[in-house]
Amino acid sequence: MRVLVIGGSRFVGSLLTWRLLAQGHRATLLNRGTRPDPFGDRVERLRADRTGPELARLLAGRDFDASIDLAAYTGEDGRRAAEVLGGRVGHHVMISTGQVYLVRAPRPGGAAREEDYDGPVMARPAGEPDLGEWSYGVEKRACEDALAEAFARFRFPATRVRIPMVNGELDYYRRLETYLWRLLDGGPVLVPDGAPARTRHVYGDEVARFLVELLGRPATYGRAFNLAQEETPSLPELLEKLRALVGSRSELVPVAPDALAKAGLDPRAVSPLSTPWMSFVDPSRARDELGFRHLPLDVYLGRIAASFLAHPPPAPTPGYELRAREVALAAALQA
């Protein structure tokens, strides 16, 4: 197939492009060109800011068997994609987020299913960090709604894929890496209170695999699918798995967020998976209707840990420079 990949020059986008090439597809990458990619002359590159006029100009007269949009964040992004690619693409896939459920009022109880999407959204928060998280979820909903409307109006063949927090070796947010640095120094790992009772994430390479397998399936047009792992460990259980994988004896120490603040520590830098803005989705539709089976959690965590140990980054994650404060706080809490 001839596949247009919009955005996504790193992490999932890079994994996706490798899979497309490995299966013999022809990939065209459309992005701003601000980051290098490893694909050499194996791909075609179109340089454009998708919000500017050059998007329509570069795609004029072009057609594709499929397009995958990893950089659609607003209602306008969704409307322009449908407008520019309408009649020119066999299947359009937009990467959305489980956060579209977190801004619902009220939030769905338990794992969010696709049918939990419809309904009002919560009131706009007063300030950060909740405001930024809320805006992200609301704008993604607007993008989804624009594509759903385009399907209803002129059968624009769009599928929306909702993913929770993504883990992977190429995660540029370095979330699991934050814990690995701490587990490997042997000191205590602070786990803030108030984290979601259960976690359900997704592995970056499994997102890429799902997207390639999804292309050209008419039964998915105009619909949304959640994609996530099956396992639902608590955050301490997840960290215990990481600890065992690297052979650490670090102790997990629960801590109140206000105690972190008093110690001058940013909870998100200490424990990025403790935020209440971690979606928890039900992947049964993708499993039951499309036959997708996510790689087991223990397998992909092992891959991430092995990659970290084999190729450790040159410097720890931001916030690690205050590690001595974390250790002191843990000692005070255990005294």
Range of the domain at 287: 2-334
302: which 2 tokens?
A: 């092992």
What does the pLDDT look like over 71-89, one tens digit per residue? 999 999 999 999 999 999 9
Q: Is the pLDDT of residue 194 over 80?
A: no
pLDDT of residue 117: 98
Specify the number of domains making up the chain: 1
Give pLDDT, residue 317: 97
Report the pLDDT value the prediction gives residue 34, as an integer from 0 to 100: 87
Beta bridge partners of 253: 190
pLDDT digit string (tens) for 24-74? 999 999 999 888 899 999 999 999 888 888 899 999 999 999 999 999 999
The answer, yes or no, to whether residue 8 has pLDDT greater than 80, is: no
Task: Map residue 83 onto helix, strand or coil.
Answer: helix
Tell me which DSSP letter residue 23 carries.
T
pTM of the entire predicted model:
0.96
Residue 263: give its domain's CATH number: 3.40.50.720
Average model confidence (pLDDT) across the chain: 96
Question: What is the rounded (10 degree) CA torsion for 83, 86, 89, 93?
Answer: 60
The closest of 96, 71, 110 to 200, measured between CA atoms, is: 110
Task: Express each pLDDT in 198-218 by its tens digit.
Answer: 999 999 999 999 999 999 999
